[in-house]
Amino acid sequence: MLFDFHTHSFFSDGELSPIELIRRAHVNGYTVIGVTDHASMSNLDLIIYNVVKDCALAEKYWGIKAIPGVELTHVPAGYIDQAAGYAKKSGIKLVVVHGETIVEPVEPGTNCAALMSTYVDVIAHPGFISPEECSLAAKNNIFLELSARGGHSLSNGHVAQVALAKNAKLLVNSDAHAPKDLLTFDFARKVASGAGISTAQINDVLIENPKLLLKRINC
Ligand SMILES: [Zn+2]
Ligand SMILES: [Zn+2]
C-alpha cells in the first residue's frame, strides 16, 4: 500500500494536469493520492471547480482513491480557519496547510493557527514545530508531514523527534510537482528512516497513520 496526501498539478505550480498526475501515481502503485494544489482565496474556487472532477473520474474508472484537496499556502495565519472551512464546505475533502518550513518566509504562527482549526487535516513540512504544537496535533488528530521534497525535508529529523515524543501522528508525503517526484514505497521508507523513524515505527508512519487520516476525512 502506498499513500501520498500532498501533490501538485498545474492548477498551481505542478507540471501535470490532475488526471495525468493521478494516472502516473496509479501506474506507480499508489493506493491513495491527495491532489493538493497551492491555494489562497485567489484560486480556491478554480481548484475546487476543476480538481474535484478529475478525482471523481479517476476513482470511478481506475479504482485509485484520488482525494480532492488543497494546500493553503501563505494564507495569513489569522485567516486559515476561515479559508479551510470554506474549502471543506465547497467540496474539498483534504486540507493541508503549508507549514513553517525553514526554507520560506512562512508567517510565524501558521503552524499554531492550522493546528487550532477543525477543518485542517495535515500540516505539511512544519519546520521547527514546538513540543506544545505537537501536543496540539495529537489532541486534535491533525497529521504532521515528513517531506520527501528537497529543502522542506531539512527539518524532518526535528519534526520526527518532537512529534514522537508527544504522540503526534506522522506521515511521509512527496509534495510532488513533477512525475519524477512521486513516491515509491521503498523511497517513502527511506525518507522515514532518514528522519530517525525506527523499524518498529515505520509501519505506523507509512500504513496505519494514513489509514487513520482516511478515517478522519471520511474517505
Ligand atoms: Zn508546501
Ligand atoms: Zn506542496
Single out the residue of 123, 121, 99, 118 nearest to residue 110, CA to CA. Answer: 99
Can you list the domains of the chain with their CATH numbers? 3-216 (3.20.20.140)
Output the pLDDT for position 4: 98
Q: Which helix (H) or strand (E) holds 184?
A: none
Considering every ligand atom, which ligand is closest to the CA of 124?
1
Instruction: Please answer whether residues 94 and 5 qualify as being in contact, where contact means their C-beta atoms are separated by less than 8 angstroms.
Output: yes
Please state, in angstroms and rounded to a whole number, the distance separating the CA atoms of residues 163 and 155. Answer: 12
State pTM to two decimals. Answer: 0.98
Output the pLDDT for position 120: 98
Name the one residue in this structure whose C-alpha cell is 520560506.
Answer: 104
Considering every ligand atom, which ligand is closest to the CA of 4?
2
Instruction: Please answer whether residues 58 and 34 qualify as being in contact, where contact means their C-beta atoms are separated by less than 8 angstroms.
Output: no
Residues of the chain with pLDDT under 70: none
Output the pLDDT for position 186: 97
Considering every ligand atom, which ligand is closest to the CA of 70?
2
Please state, in angstroms and rounded to a whole number, the distance separating the CA atoms of residues 180 and 150. Answer: 13
Distance from the alpha carbon of residue 75 to the mean position of ligand 2, in angstroms? 14
Distance from the alpha carbon of residue 173 to the mean position of ligand 2, in angstroms? 9
Ligand 2 ion local residues (Cβ < 5 A): 71, 175
Output the pLDDT for position 28: 95
Distance from the alpha carbon of residue 153 to the mean position of ligand 1, in angstroms? 11
